[in-house]
Amino acid sequence: MIIDRRRLLLGSLTGAATIATPALAAPLSRYGLDAAQFGVRAGTPDDQTAKLQRAINDAAQSRVPLLLAPGVYRAGDLKLPADAQLAGIRGATRLTLTQGPSLIAAEHADTVSLTGLVLDGGGKPLPEGRGLVHLVGARSLRITDCEILRAGGNGVTLESCDGEVTHSTITGAADGALYCIDSREIIIAANTITQSGNYGIQVWQSDKRYDGSLIADNRV
């Protein structure tokens, strides 16, 4: 068998790829839509809200995750439509609030998720009862492996939602870390909450009704 230089080089590259870590061996776009394809840039002083919102909408329409590379992104008042999945590199992808009553919000959007993000409110005051992450009427929501920092109100506010908030850290909320009202079968588990100005976790109903929420293994 004759092995020419081209085949030898290809074989060498293939072998190298097999020992590389998955995160480095493949582009982000292989697992979803890469936000950079929409002009979203980390580390720039420019507000990324418009470009990031377009990317969120397009990814949700295609029902695939929108992936953000490590770095700092300045944005605010982002809206999650149904099927929006926003994901970053845990501890390394940071969104900082520039404008609006919340950094991320959704109304009556099913199957939304936030994964591996640092969400930083910068201590900017939020309207009363507002959360840095504020979801209303969301079904099958998922917030996991996120850090929610320096919210100028609540860290997370959930109204009439169901789903889960797990393995996340909420630090330095001016009011409450996690405020949940009129929701059903919410799972709040394995979270760490520190330095809240008022309370850690509050789950309640405005009237007598079935709740079914599970609150377990949180550190407050």
Q: Quote the pTM value.
A: 0.86
Beta-sheet strand order (sheet of 169-171)? 71-75, 93-97, 118-120, 147-149, 169-171, 192-194
Q: Specify the pLDDT at position 25.
A: 31
Q: Which residues fall within 8 angstroms of residue 46, CB to CB, at 6 or more apart? A: 74
Helices and strands of the chain, counted as H and E runs: 3, 20
Q: Specify the pLDDT at position 208.
A: 85
pLDDT digits (tens, 9 = 90+) for 156-209: 999 999 999 999 999 999 999 999 999 889 999 999 999 999 999 999 999 888
pLDDT digits (tens, 9 = 90+) for 11-32: 333 333 333 333 333 344 567 9
Q: How far apart are CA 87 and CA 158, in angstroms?
A: 20
Residue 3, pLDDT > 90, answer no
Average pLDDT over residues 27-51: 88
Average pLDDT over residues 60-68: 96
pLDDT digits (tens, 9 = 90+) for 74-132: 999 999 999 999 999 999 999 999 999 999 999 999 999 999 999 999 999 999 999 99
Q: How far apart are CA 51 and CA 103, in angstroms?
A: 15
* Identity of the residue numbered 80: L
* Identity of the residue numbered 209: R
Q: Domains in the chain, start-ordered, CATH in brackets?
A: 29-216 (2.160.20.10)
Q: Specify the pLDDT at position 31.
A: 78
**Residue 13, helix vs strand vs coil:** helix
